[in-house]
Structure formats: structure tokens, C-alpha cells
Amino acid sequence: MATFKPSSALKRMATILQPDEAEEPILTPPVREAVHQWMTEIRAADEMAKLGIKPRCTALLSGPPGCGKTTLAHHFAMRLGLALVCVNTDQLVSSSLGGTGQNVAAIFAAIEEQEDLCVLFLMSLTRSRASGRSGGANAPTR
């Protein structure tokens, strides 16, 4: 499996998990089935293209800290033979006008400049408003 060589720009913005470092995740039957279905879909991309359909290319992983989201994403990337590029979305948020959008664009630009494909993993820490300083209704926890 080829090693993904991130540019210095990408290294500054992301943590790179190489495919050969992935662990085997323990999955509940529904998650295992969902991963299997998605993998089947990706492997059938050529046949699907003939029908004008593209395989899904995004997924939302949610769950409490330490339940295995990163482990699963890393394993999934490994199954595709790709590195996992992990970006903490908190670091992208900027208080300057348009700053957040520019940071997001910079990530995609840095990935596009890479020679090899990769899987982008956006890690978001959603907090309940009730536990923060802003008060008000609880934010959706996903």
C-alpha cells in the first residue's frame, strides 16, 4: 500500500493517518452492514456509471467520544487503499469575515494539489448549548 505524502501545507492543517496503520474496528451489525453496502457500491462504480449513478461519497458518523468514529473512518480509508486526512473543524472557524470559508477552501485546495487520492475526515465537536455559556435551547447532538 503506497504511503500518502502530504504537502507541508496539508500537514499544517491536518493529521494524516496512513492506511497501513489502521486498526480493525468492532462494529455493531447495522454499522457493519452499512459499511459493507457502501463498499459494494464503491466497487460497482463502473457498472453504476453506465446507469448514470454515482456511488455515495460522504457519510455522517456520530456517537459519544471514544466510540470508534475515527477508527472506523481510518479502517474504511484503508479498505480503499487510501490515507485518512483528519481535520478538526474547530480549527477552521474564524472570527474574521469570510475567514472560515477561506480556511475550508484552503483544505480542499491542498487536497486537490496532492498527487494521490485520500479520504477527508472532518472531525466536529458539537457541544450542548446547555453546557456552554450561551444558554438557550439544546443544540442537536449529532
Ligand X SMILES: Nc1ncnc2c1ncn2[C@@H]1O[C@H](COP(=O)(O)OP(=O)(O)OP(=O)(O)O)[C@@H](O)[C@H]1O
Positions that interact with Mg ion (CB under 5 A): 69-70
DSSP state of 122: E
Task: Assess contact for 121 and 86: CB atoms under 8 A.
Answer: yes
CB of 70 to ligand X, least distance (A): 3
Closest CB to ligand X: residue number: 68
**Considering the rule CB under 6 A, would residue 65 count as an interface residue with ligand X?**
yes
Of the candidates 18, 39, 68, 103, which one interacts with ligand X according to CB under 6 A? 68
Task: Assess contact for 93 and 126: CB atoms under 8 A.
Answer: no
Instruction: Find residue 121's DSSP bridge partners.
Output: 86
β-strands 118-123, 15-17: how paired?
A: unpaired
**Considering the rule CB under 6 A, would residue 23 count as an interface residue with ligand X?**
yes
β-strands 15-17, 83-88: how paired?
A: antiparallel
Binding-site partner at residue 52 among Mg ion, ligand X, none, CB < 5 to 8 Å by type: none
Binding-site partner at residue 71 among Mg ion, ligand X, none, CB < 5 to 8 Å by type: ligand X
Give the Cα separation of 38 and 32 in Å (integer): 10
**Considering the rule CB under 6 A, would residue 34 count as an interface residue with ligand X?**
no
Binding-site partner at residue 25 among Mg ion, ligand X, none, CB < 5 to 8 Å by type: ligand X
Using CB under 6 A as the criterion, which residues of the chain lie in contact with ligand X when the complex forms? 23, 25-26, 63, 65-71
